[in-house]
Amino acid sequence: MKTEVVDEYCAELKRKGYSAGEAPHGTMGFARVFLGKIAFSKFMVQMVARREKVSKSALVVGAVNARMSYEDVTDAIEALRMVLDRRCRMTEEVIDEYGIELQKRGYSPDGRAPNGTLRIDRAYLEQLAVGELMIRLVVRRQELYWVPVKQRSYKDLTGAVEALGIVIDRRCS
């Protein structure tokens, strides 16, 4: 992420109770150097995937630890979404650019996935903010990760996440 994006993200984290890059419950922390070296979209995907894993970890780490970790990562995601929504609006231009990236991954011009398991059409995109779309795609992909019969869906979702990541990184970070 560019320095100004890191600054904006750190300011959002501070408003959410983070102190010197550490989460309110101490379950994670972010060094500015790390944030400056990671792509915005990759970081967002990692945080959403972490939240989904944490939400299922109460039996392993205990209910209290799982709740604290979930709250910390949710705040980190919300801060990312706020920065993204300010920097990258779902405009006609962004929708067109995303459509081009989807087509490079085998999607049809009307938004049908190569394996036929997903359709991302213009009307759907016009209803969402960029950050919300990324979160929805990653959550759905995480749900399918361990389901062998759903590997075609997982591949289609991976293409959609990668395409959106390129648009986000090109325009927003």
pLDDT along the chain (173 residues), means of 10: 92 92 91 92 92 84 90 94 90 95 96 94 92 91 77 91 93 72
Contact 57, 66 (CB under 8 A): yes
At residue 57, the pLDDT reads 82
At residue 94, the pLDDT reads 94
At residue 115, the pLDDT reads 93
Contact 104, 166 (CB under 8 A): no
At residue 149, the pLDDT reads 67
At residue 155, the pLDDT reads 92
| Tokens representing residue 15 in the block | 């408003």
For residue 4, what are the CA distances in angstroms to 1, 33, 75, 160? Answer: 8, 13, 20, 27
In 3-state terms, the chain is what percent helix, strand and coil (to 5)?
A: 70, 5, 25
Terminal-residue alpha carbon distance, the chain: 5
At residue 173, the pLDDT reads 66
